[in-house]
Amino acid sequence: MNFPSDLLYTKDHEWVSLDGNVMTIGITDHAQDALGDIVFFESPEVGQLIEAEEAFCVIESVKTVSDVYAPTSGEIEEVNEEVEENAEFINSDPYGKGWLVKIKFDTSEDLGLLDADEYEEFLKNEG
């Protein structure tokens, strides 16, 4: 499995890249592998307000339907339209072309995110 060290991770298997008060979110290599071939991404609307730890979009694979959870409260600033058209990018390039959304958030909130080593350790203990 691939877990880039320049990203942060959630216990719900999302990855996060921070740029000031904008957070880019996708699902981890582990998550896309567990889901199998992804066929559909149901995105939220730009401008939608989301709450921390609540499901805000859906990924459908040939095996299952899975919610994606918000690591923080905020406002959807951008949706990856390429993934809406080509959901397979989530499988083939989860940390690049497969990003899902960008959220504008309050930087004072404690995000409780894991670094790559902590996420790998979490996965070992989860199984």
* 81-91 confidence digits (pLDDT tens): 999 999 999 99
118 found inside a domain: no
Closest by CA position to 53, among listed 23, 97, 103, 11 = 11
**CA separation for the pair 127, 125 (Å, rounded):** 6
Domain count, the chain: 1
Residue identified by tokens 């991770």 is 9
How confident is the model at residue 16, as a pLDDT?
Answer: 96
Secondary-structure breakdown of the chain: helix, strand, coil percentages, each rounded to the nearest 5: 20, 35, 45
Contact by Cβ (8 Å): 29, 14:
no
Whole domain around residue 83: which residue ranges?
Answer: 8-106
Listing DSSP states for 41-86 in one string gives: EEPPPTT-EE-TTSEEEEEEESS-EEEEE-SS-EEEEEE-HHHHH-
CATH number at residue 21: 2.40.50.100
89 found inside a domain: yes
How confident is the model at residue 58, as a pLDDT?
Answer: 95
How confident is the model at residue 107, as a pLDDT?
Answer: 72
Helix (H) or strand (E) holding 109: none
In percent, the amount of the chain with pLDDT more than 90 equals 88
> Which residues of the chain have a pLDDT value below 70?
108-109, 127
